[in-house]
Every structure is written in C-alpha cells, then in structure tokens.
A and B are shown apart, each in its own frame.
Chain A
C-alpha cells in the first residue's frame, strides 16, 4: 500500500518533469501528421516528381511564395482578391504567370463557341468587307454582313461600318469604342459591383453583337481558325466546345442549316491540325438554352443523335445553357432527358449560383441523377455534402471557371471560391475558362494562374498544375486511343516545359 503511494508519487514527479517535453513532442507529432495527411489528400499529391521536376518546382515555388509573401506581409492589398479587371493588365509581370503561360495545359473542357476569341481579334474581323452596322439608341450594336443594305430590322438605319469608320475623325477612337461591344471589360466600379442579373444582361449584349459578327460563314471560318490558334498558342491542345448549332449565312443572304456549322467546325479543325499536327482537335457539346420549350430541347437532342451517327468523332454530348437562376430548372426537362440518357452523354451545367436551396442550386441533384459525365461550374456543390461524396465516388469531374465566376458576379475575392475546398479534398477538377473572349482573358493561362496563386493553398505546387492538366485529358470525351496519343504529346511537351523552367532559373 505505502510503497504503491510512494511509487505513484515518484512516478508523478517523473511525469511532471518530462511531461512538458513529451506533450510538446506529441503535439508536434499531431500537428505534423495533420499537415502531412492534408497534403496527401490534395489534388496532385499522388504524383511522383522526377529530379528535374523537383528542380523546376523549387523555382516555381520560389516565385509563388515571393508573390504571396509580398501581399501577406507588406499589407499591400492582394491583387487577386479584387475584381479580375482590376489586376488583369498587371498579370503579365508575374513570374509565375510567365511560367504558367508556357506550361502545356492539356485541354479546355468548358468553352462556349461564341466567346472564344478576344476583343482585339474580333475588332480585326470588323475590317472585313460588306459589314453593316446599326447603332441602336440603347447603346447596343447590331452587325450584319450583306451585299446590299440588310433586310434585318434596324430601328435607326444600317450603314456600312467602313463608311462610319472612314467618316470618323479619329479611327483609333472609333475602334476603341467599337471594341467595347466585344468585351465586358470596364473600369467602372458600379458595373463591377452590379448584381448578377445586371451583369448577365451586359454579358448577353456582348454575346449578341459577337454572334451577329460571326454568323456570316466566311467570318465564322476565320473566327474559329483564329480561336483555335489562340488556344494552341496558350498551350491548350484540345477544346470541347459548347455550341447550340444554328444557321449561318452567305453574303447574298442564303443560309446553311445548323448541321453545316458542325461540319464547318470539323473542316476548320482538320485544316488547323494539318498545319499543327500536335493539336489533338475539338469535340462538340450540343446545347439548348435553358429557357427553351421541352419540344425545342427534344429537337436539339434529336440533332445530337443525328450528329452522333453522322459525325461520330465530333459529338461529345448535350448540355443546357444560360443563366441558371433565371432559366428553367433541369427537372422541368426530366422526361426528355431521361428518354435520351442511354444514347447521349450529358455534360450539364449545375449550381452556377450562390443561392442555397433554390432550383438553380438543386440542378446539381438532377445533373447527377441523370448521369452527367461532368458538371459545369458546380459552384454551389460545396454546400451539398452527400452530393459531393456521390460525385466523388462516381468520379464525375467538376469543370471550374474561376474568372468567369468573378466576372459574372458570383464571388469577389477568389480566395473564397469553393474550388479551394475541392482542391484540398482532391476531387476530380478540371480548369476551364468558360467565355475567355468576353472578358479579355487568355484562353486558359489566366484561369490557371488565378487558381494557382489565388485559390489553391500556398503549398500547392507543380503537382497541382500537372494534375489539373492531366485531369483535362482523363475527363475529356475522347476515346481511349486518342487519349493515349494526347498523354504522349502532353508528356513530351511537359518534359520540354520542365527544362525551360530550369533554364529560366531564378532570373
């Protein structure tokens, strides 16, 4: 009895003496373990780096840390926490961006057909002959190519753009004004802080003007070729394009039907590949507006089936597009979509909203139930734990478009973008850019840069970047053979890229 008391006293003394250190060690162990386990969960953590990749990674991370530390410590506002337009023109100075620009990024899987091209390139297309302009009272602009004054309605009157331009005192000024119709870019704070509906209205206005310009067959060909060129130059080797195929016209007013546009896409892509054999190609995701009637959707799906038979290499699947909060919910189209789901693959937009519990938010459920291959945006998904788990389990990829979500008024500070959590969870994510032309962003580099420096953890490194690129191949609609070829081309380019980083070093 007594001895046991003595024993315990001695023991407790010993424990007190050493416990502080033991506890501290245990604590450090806990902490390190947490940090390591989290690192292991992160997207890209399973990649093993070669010695060269490690070296390149050190250089990349040196620049990344430098950039972030500058904001964190110097208490200068973090650029990337502001609206994209506030820092867009500064990005080119960033070393991290310069590296990312050169990086092979795989494919872009969430791109809308009419918004692929930057405003400068669109402006160039307005120098084509026979372009008529109709400047409307509400400040919007209609464009139409024609060999005579267009029959299309214009409340004011049609004038040849060339005449207007020649008659202006200052062509540069004239073009600068014209350019504004092709981009949402603005320095006006009020517009930057506008609510989501106002922003989408501006977006639609830009969309309509661009569509006017590119519905003319010869311009569409140039547009599409230039767009592919831009993606290619941005080191994107493959694009999945969402397009609601529509008629396009010739100068004399004759029109081609919607399928012709699909053929045009394929023809131009072939030509592009002939000249750039390392380009993989494109696929088409046929779309309907989500405000369409159920019959219209059925028609479009029938067209998708037709395309699948006639142009099997081109069609990836079907989607519904347009502002989700305002459009009809997916569940309104269930009968038609259920009917088609065995024949047509779905690539639905879902949860491009910051509402919680509304129909737009719950589109996510329908998309998953309908067996969607990927989900576009999935911005609201983070608020749906069970769905998140289901999607992870079914390996449904999330097509993230961070800059789009900023420009279209979902989020301001990208550090609050849910992508940070998806990356931390190691979920299947691909990065895309939605409508990069509409906000004068790079085809894909800006989105990669903003994600890497602004959204992902400070610790996220070259593995994250590589995995994101690899994911875009893995989750593409390509068949296995073409995927294999894609991987081969990617790996080759990646090795060169890594060498280039090392050559660039810390200068």
Chain B
C-alpha cells in the first residue's frame, strides 16, 4: 500500500516537472562525474582485465564500507591505529593490497622500518651489553665492558637474560622498548608531544645498538628484504648517518656510514636482482644551529661527490613544532641549492601560521623536489596551487600522522582533499616498524578504505604506485615503470583468476 502511494505521488510530481527533474538528475550526474574525473588516477585507462579486477575490488570495498556506514561502531578507522592494525588483516582487500605491486617507498627513516620482534632478535647477538636504568635502558655492542656512563652497571645482555627468572617475561619487557604499541594509546599518547617523547626514546634506546657496524648493515639488508616482500621494488631511505663503531671501539664517520649503506644495497641487488635498489637522503636533525647545518651540507656534498648514483639529496628531521624553523638556515640552504636536491619535511603540524606551518613556504621557495608530510598544506590554497604547478610531490604518511597524534579519525586527514584535487601524492610509511605496521601495505589499505572517496578505485591505487616511481630519483625510470607494468599485469591476472 505505502510503496504504491509513494510511487503514485512521485509519479504525479514527476509528471508536473518531468523536464526539470531530468535536468537536475543530469546535472547532478555531470557534477559528480566531473569530480571523479579530477581525482588522482583519472588519467589511467583500464584494460579489459583491469575492469574485471576493479569490479572485484569495488564490490569488496562497497561491502565493507556500507557495513561501516550503517554501524559506525564497527568502523575501525575512527579509532587509533593500534586498535585496528591486526583486525584489518581479516579484510580480503587488505590481502589484495598486500599482493599489489606498490612501486617505491620514498619517505622512510632507516632505523624505524623493522618490527620490534626483529629488534628483539638482534638482542640475542653476542657481545651486546645492557645497562638498565630507572625507566630506560642502554644497549651497546662491545668486546669488553663499555666505557659509556651507566647509572647502574653494564652487563652482558645474555647474562641478564639467562639469570632472569623468566626469559619470556624478560624478552617481553625488552620488546616494549622497541615499539610504540600500547593497550591504551589515547591515555599514553594524549598529544603530539607525549607521542614524540616516546617515539624519540625508541631511537635513543636502539641507536647505540644499531650503530654497531655489523648490526647496522644487517638491519639495512633485512629492511630491504622486508620491503621487497611487501611488494615494493625500490626505496629512498632517510638517514642521519650516525657514526658507526666496531667491537673494539673504533668509530667511523658519517661518510663511512653512507658507504656501508651503498655496500649493502649493492650486495642486496646482487642477491635479489628483481629489486631496483635504494638511494640515500641525508637527513640529519633539525634542532641545531646554522653552523651545524653548514657542516651537514659539507658532508652531503662529499657523499654526493663520492657516491653520485647512490646519493639522492638532503633533508632535515625531527619534531617540527619544537625544532628550528627552516628559515633559520636560509643562507646555508640557498647557497647549496644548486648542488643538492632537497626533499624537505614541512608542515608536519596541525598548527596554522606558526613556524612549523610556515616551513612550507620556505621549502617551496627553496625548490624542494618533494615535501615530507605537508599535513598543513591544505590550509594554504596558494601553496597548494604552487605545488601542483611545480609538480612537487607530497610524501604522505597517514598512519604516522595518526600515531604521532596529528589526527584521530583518518577521514579527517587532508590527504582526502589532495587526492580529490589530483595533487601529486606518493604514499609512504615513515617509521612503520616502530608502530608495527607493514612496510607499506597498511598505509595503502587505510588510504584506500579510510581516506579516499568511496568511489576511488584501482585507478587510484595504480596511480599512487606509479607516482612513487615517477617522483623518485631513479635514473632509468622507463625501465622501472616497464617492469612495474609487467608485475601489475600479473597481479591483475591473478586477481581475476582467483575470483576473490
């Protein structure tokens, strides 16, 4: 009865204004279509199998999102990443994205890529000393008791472990130092600073252990392995290039660290010829004075001179709000800008109009090649246009921004706007190991399901992967893109064949 009545009334009103109604519907369709055509990925034309694969993907996506739309309590992404990171692995789309060739990682920090389990394993190496202090601990490799100051006393970690009552418990405690993961993230990380404090503590604790030359090289080799296994074919790695040491206490310089990296990459590519290598972005700490930046630049130039093919460029790192603003180093950075390519972090903040926010102005004026994070860019319409005009890619790291407390619900992440406007974006993962995320798959999945439009499809995913190659510093891009296309086709074929 009721449906008939509704239909009847509808019919009447349509009869009255049928043309008008049609007009509005058409116009509506046009407007919606115009927006879809503007979205990142719109230039891609699908092959027949891609169309089929896309149907599979979009069916799964709609199913998951519609359920979430009806019952938001079941929607994971409004919560903290730690509360859903394992749950999303149940999603068939996650598995698809895991298998998907994702191109390159262009924004990642060298000692933040591997999981706490990996780091824990490293503590089983010989000659590792530990110093347990009140809240923290120090770790250092040495062939004799370290001379570094210790509030309590140095002991071999092996001894500490095996004299402990419960080794499992001992390891579990140890592991906590290697991850940000906690049960009550909202209580522990109540703002940007509280998150960054813990985050920095991770680097302070693990740094001296990783800086043992052999550990360093092994960590990097295994990083490349993990990256490759996540279907990433190339990586640009940011490093502060800390001095490495040997068991006997010999200490090397930053340039030697870079050389270590290059050696590992060369070996890795030899072992895995399907991997397209790595390049280095020298990215020392930003909380320094201008004189130190001058020294940094000297080191950067020297590395570039010695390893021109391995060196990609220069950046400054550390919490932007509390760090020195980029404009304090103008003279130094302007002077070097013809010799060094810049890949600056900027606007990794939710402040509007403060120095950290206005770093965006500086790095664009400094002709940066890409911008790390650019979270605040959406509040700067003019700069946004400039970024598009100059083809400066934004390296967006959604999960990092959640964990480091810039944004809660990922649907409020500015990336949604960047994607809608087809701003050149690459997805990356920053320090995925520290928050126990995949090298890249989690970031792709959450972007696809939580940030991008419900209508965003395989085109978006493919373009994001392609962007990571286009905006990399790889020399022979054609060759790599060609190889990517081959892998992509295989991926599509398997998707269609396995009929998810």
Contact = CB atoms under 8 A, between A and B. Distances in A.
Contact of A382 (B20, B358, B382, B417): B417
B379 A384 contact: no
Contacts of B335: 20, 23-24
Interface in B17-75: 17, 20-21, 24-25, 27-28, 31-32, 34-35, 38, 65, 69, 71-73, 75
Contacts of B421: 385
Contact of A458 (B65, B352, B452): B352
A473 interface: no
Interface in B345-367: 350-354, 358, 361-362, 364-366
Contacts, number: 174
Given A20-B335, A68-B354, A356-B411, A424 B381 contact: yes
Interface string A133-145: 0000000000000
A411 interface: yes
Given A27-B330, A358-B454, A197 B72 contact: yes
B181 interface: no
Contacts of A369: 24, 27-28, 31
Contacts of A283: none
A385 to B, nearest CB: 5
B454 A356 contact: yes
A390 B34 CA distance: 12
A277 interface: no
Nearest to B37: A386
Contact of B190 (A77, A336, A338): A77
Interface of B: 5-6, 9-10, 13-14, 16-17, 20-21, 24-25, 27-28, 31-32, 34-35, 38, 65, 69, 71-73, 75, 78, 186, 190-191, 193, 321-322, 327, 330-331, 334-335, 337, 350-354, 358, 361-362, 364-366, 378-383, 386, 406-409, 411-412, 416-417, 420-421, 451-456
Given A382-B378, A386-B35, A23 B365 contact: no
Given A356-B416, A411-B412, A81 B191 contact: yes
A502 B451 CA distance: 46
Interface in A188-227: 189, 193, 195-198
A69 to B, nearest CB: 9
19 contacts: A23-B335, A23-B337, A27-B365, A31-B365, A34-B361, A34-B383, A41-B381, A193-B186, A196-B72, A197-B72, A334-B21, A338-B17, A354-B411, A356-B411, A357-B456, A366-B28, A384-B420, A386-B38, A456-B352
A319 interface: no
Given A338-B20, A358-B454, A456-B352, 7 more contacts: A335-B13, A339-B17, A354-B409, A357-B456, A358-B69, A420-B379, A421-B417
A358 B331 CA distance: 49
Contact of A355 (B358, B381, B411): B411
A78 interface: yes
Contacts of A68: 354
Contact of B379 (A189, A198, A457): A457
B19 to A, nearest CB: 10
A72 interface: yes
B320 to A, nearest CB: 11
Interface residues of A, number: 69
Contacts of A412: 408-409
Nearest to A69: B354
Contact of A415 (B10, B28, B352): B352
A386 B32 CA distance: 9
Contact of A195 (B10, B75, B331, B366): B75
- Closest 4 interchain pairs by CB? A357-B454, A458-B353, A457-B353, A357-B453
Contacts of A387: 31, 35
A78 B28 CA distance: 42
A411 B411 CA distance: 9
Contacts of B365: 27, 30-31, 34
Nearest to A199: B72
A23 B333 CA distance: 11
A416 B361 contact: no
Contact of B453 (A77, A354, A383): A383
Given A23-B337, A198-B73, A356-B411, A413 B13 contact: no
A413 B416 contact: no
Nearest to A72: B354
Given A38-B382, A294-B10, A424-B379, A413 B407 contact: yes
B51 to A, nearest CB: 20
A333 B364 CA distance: 47
A325 interface: yes
Given A193-B186, A457-B353, A459-B353, A38 B383 contact: yes
A451 B270 CA distance: 57
A412 B351 CA distance: 14
A294 B6 contact: yes
A355 B454 contact: yes
A460 interface: yes
Interface in A157-213: 189, 193, 195-198
Nearest to A384: B35
Contacts of A455: 352
A425 interface: yes
Contacts of B386: 34
A411 B412 CA distance: 7
B32 A37 contact: no
A331 interface: yes
Contacts of A334: 21, 24-25
A480 B137 CA distance: 72
A103 B8 CA distance: 54
Contacts of B453: 356-357, 383
A1 B412 CA distance: 63
B17 A81 contact: no
| Residue from B191, B382, B406 whose CB has the most chain A CB atoms within 10 Å | B382
A507 interface: no
Interface string A5-38: 0000000000000001001100110110011011
Contacts of A355: 69, 411, 454
Contact of B38 (A24, A37, A382, A385): A385
A422 to B, nearest CB: 10
A75 interface: yes
A90 B212 CA distance: 51
A62 to B, nearest CB: 16
A70 B6 CA distance: 60
A147 B21 CA distance: 52
Given A68-B354, A81-B350, A31 B24 contact: no
A365 interface: yes
A193 B420 CA distance: 28
Contacts of A293: 6
Given A331-B28, A412-B409, A75 B378 contact: no
A304 interface: no
Contact of B330 (A24, A368, A382, A390): A24
